[in-house]
Amino acid sequence: MTSPTGEKTAAERRASRRGSERRPSIDPWRLVPMDKSEHIGGEDIFNIVFVGAGNIMFGSPEGPWNHSFRLEHKLGPRMKVVALIDPAVDRAKETLKKKCNSFVVSAYKDTRVCKTLDEFRETMTAKETPKAFIVGSPPMFRGTLKSGRDVEAQILKHFPGVALFIEKPVATGPVEEIKEGYEIAKMISDSNTVCSVGYMLRYLKATQQMKKIIEDNNLTVMATIARYANAYDSILKPDWWDKAKSAGPVIEQGTHFCDLSRYFGGDVDMSTVMAHSLEWHENAGRLSKIPIDENTIPPENRIPRVTSATWKYESGAVGSFTHLTALQGYNYSCELEVYADGYCLRLVDPYQSPILYVRKPGDDHEAVHRFADDDPFFSEVSHWIDVIEDIEEDPDSATILSSYEDAVKSYELTWAIRLASERSAKAKAAASAGAAMKEVGAA
């Protein structure tokens, strides 16, 4: 309701802002690392439900992610985790025990562990009514309208108006289910629900500096060239190596760079996606340090070592992406180049220490920009909370950079790449078999 003074309420402000043109970027100076920011103001309790008690929520040695840690800083003493939903109850309890033994005990001392969303809903007291859900369960259990894999739809139905944060990718089910993702996106936008998806690389200062250069100079992107090379011997989860379980490395992992490419190139004409792969059984695809026993995975489910794709954006620009399972060690080697008339913006090493190389018209040399102390994981949750709280009238103060619909589009692109590479591999196998038959016939 509009207030008696004629001023808009927070919900109205949010709705009208979403209806108007969506701001696609954040001024880089607004991306402040955690140690230089204060927790959000206000007195009232901020009830939040965590779905999933795994690595993304509570951290792991594999990377810097840890949503709980950053939310504790952002929400400060207002934070109350009313429930931790995870079928692995022991893991959830163990995690809570550690939190309760630390100085953040006030956020977790009354947290209830529930096996399912239904269990929480059926036992929830009025005091526990959540203001937000953060969903970090595996993508195979969400992103659809099918019972048991429809947590978003269930939250929208039973907790209308409650904000959502969903981890990437939005799903990893069969390709036919992508349309259900778009239906969820429509439910989210029709209900004006605040929703952010965890494509945190969009919140990098370097990424936003690239956006700023493009906006300030009114540039039109001509091409995006992305490379994502993981360090495969440190990928220890057996499911990751099994296409039937993780949907393959482009969908599960390359998704970050496909999304970042789309962030600069715009919507992709899916009918143009072409791709090739280097498969596990080809000579060049033999890897010496796979950390799991790949023999336990059916041959048809083993992942490709290289996938290389090209496509046209709706704008006419061209995109390309190569995913590699080839390097060893710990650090990944990832780069994104964005070209426009006279410009090359080259983002290097966004995961460890992002560097942006900028080549401008009239200069053959690249200017080098480094971004110390940047924390895109903090920026993404910080902006999400600021949008929920709608703390300032200033429309530039908080922005969600990855909507659910946008994230479904990135998911669709990764599936299109996988399918195109599988088509090429099949065609090559058929051609080789045909050539072999001919040879036998000729002999």
Ligand X SMILES: NC(=O)c1ccc[n+]([C@@H]2O[C@H](COP(=O)([O-])OP(=O)(O)OC[C@H]3O[C@@H](n4cnc5c(N)ncnc54)[C@H](O)[C@@H]3O)[C@@H](O)[C@H]2O)c1
Residues forming the site for ligand X (CB under 6 A) = 51-56, 63, 65, 85-88, 91, 136-139, 141, 167-168, 198, 200
The distance of closest approach from Cβ of residue 253 to ligand X in the complex, given in angstroms and rounded to an integer, is 8
313: which 2 tokens? 């954006």
Measured from the CB atom, the residue of 170 and 214 that comes closer to ligand X is: 170
Measured from the CB atom, the residue of 136 and 304 that comes closer to ligand X is: 136
Tell me how far apart the alpha carbons of residues 243 and 248 are, in angstroms, rounded to a whole number: 4
The distance of closest approach from Cβ of residue 137 to ligand X in the complex, given in angstroms and rounded to an integer, is 4
Looking from the CA of 437 toward its CB, the CA atoms found within 13 Å total 6
Measured from the CB atom, the residue of 137 and 308 that comes closer to ligand X is: 137
Handedness of CA 111, 116, 120, 123 (dihedral sign): negative
437: which 2 tokens? 């038959």
The distance of closest approach from Cβ of residue 136 to ligand X in the complex, given in angstroms and rounded to an integer, is 5
Beta strands in 87-182 (DSSP E): 112-114, 132-135, 163-166
299: which 2 tokens? 């041959």
Measured from the CB atom, the residue of 139 and 248 that comes closer to ligand X is: 139
The distance of closest approach from Cβ of residue 141 to ligand X in the complex, given in angstroms and rounded to an integer, is 4
Nearby residues of 226 by Cβ (< 8 Å), 6 or more positions away = 257, 258, 260, 261, 319, 320, 321, 322, 334, 335, 336, 337
Tell me how far apart the alpha carbons of residues 148 and 121 are, in angstroms, rounded to a whole number: 15
CB 230 within 8 A of CB 325: yes
CB 275 within 8 A of CB 420: yes
Measured from the CB atom, the residue of 203 and 313 that comes closer to ligand X is: 203
Measured from the CB atom, the residue of 87 and 299 that comes closer to ligand X is: 87
CB 203 within 8 A of CB 401: yes
Question: Checking DSSP bridges between strand 333-340 and strand 221-231, what pairing results, if any?
Answer: antiparallel
Measured from the CB atom, the residue of 53 and 82 that comes closer to ligand X is: 53
Measured from the CB atom, the residue of 344 and 348 that comes closer to ligand X is: 348
The distance of closest approach from Cβ of residue 366 to ligand X in the complex, given in angstroms and rounded to an integer, is 28
Q: Name 339's bridge partners.
A: 223, 344
CB 170 within 8 A of CB 177: no
The distance of closest approach from Cβ of residue 110 to ligand X in the complex, given in angstroms and rounded to an integer, is 20
- Count CB atoms within 10 A of the CB of residue 126: 5
Nearby residues of 159 by Cβ (< 8 Å), 6 or more positions away = 130, 133
CB 197 within 8 A of CB 407: yes
Q: Supply φ then ψ for residue 214, to 5 degrees.
A: -65, -45
The distance of closest approach from Cβ of residue 138 to ligand X in the complex, given in angstroms and rounded to an integer, is 5
The distance of closest approach from Cβ of residue 372 to ligand X in the complex, given in angstroms and rounded to an integer, is 20
Nearby residues of 430 by Cβ (< 8 Å), 6 or more positions away = none
The distance of closest approach from Cβ of residue 437 to ligand X in the complex, given in angstroms and rounded to an integer, is 43
Measured from the CB atom, the residue of 196 and 308 that comes closer to ligand X is: 196
